[in-house]
Amino acid sequence: MVRPHARGAGRRAAGRWARLPQLYRPASLPADPPPVLAARIDPRGRARLADGRVAGRLQRDADGILVFLAQRDEERHLLRQPPAWAFDADLLDALARAGVQRVCISTARATYTAPLAEFFASTALLLDRGHGVQRAVPLGLWRVQPRGGPRQLGLFAEV
C-alpha cells in the first residue's frame, strides 16, 4: 500500500494509485517508506524481535526482580568461537528500558544466568554475523546450573 505524504495527497488518492504498478504511479506520490521496526515487549510480557518472533518472556522471580527467560538449543544458538551467548542489540535495549535486571537461558543440559548489565559492559562483544547486530557475553561470565538427573560423582566428592 502506498502511504500518503505528510503534505501531499490524501488517503483516497494514495489508495487509488496503490493498485497500479510502480511504473504508472504519478511522480508526485512518494514511494512506500521503509517500516520502522524495533524489538518490543508486548502486553503479555513476551519479548518480540523486530520481525515479530518471540525471543523470550519476562517474569518476576521470588525476590521481585524482573528476569528475561529464553529457551535455546545449545547446538544451534551457543556461539562456538568465542564461546558466548548472544542476543539482538535492539532486544537488549528494549529489555533495559523495561527494567529487566537478569537474563536466564534454559537449555536441555543447563540453565545459564547473567545480569543484563553484562551485555553492556566492556567485556561484552558487539558482532554481526548475518542475523543483525548482536551483543554477546562470553560463557565464562555466566552462572551455569546443570539440569537435574543422573550424573557422575567426582572422585573425591562427598556422598
Residue 125 in any domain: the answer is yes
Co-location of 9 and 78 in the same domain: no
Whole-number Å distance between alpha carbons of 96 and 101: 8
Name the residue range of residue 131's domain.
40-146
Co-location of 4 and 65 in the same domain: no
pTM: 0.69
Co-location of 63 and 11 in the same domain: no
Co-location of 71 and 138 in the same domain: yes
What residues have CB less than 8 Å from 154, skipping those under 6 apart?
none
What residues have CB less than 8 Å from 84, skipping those under 6 apart?
78, 125, 136, 137, 138, 139
pLDDT in tens, 62-116: 999 999 999 999 999 999 999 999 999 999 999 999 999 999 999 999 999 999 9
pLDDT in tens, 102-126: 999 999 999 999 999 999 999 999 9
pLDDT at 136 over 60: yes
Q: According to the model, what pLDDT value does residue 111 have?
A: 94
pLDDT at 29 over 80: no
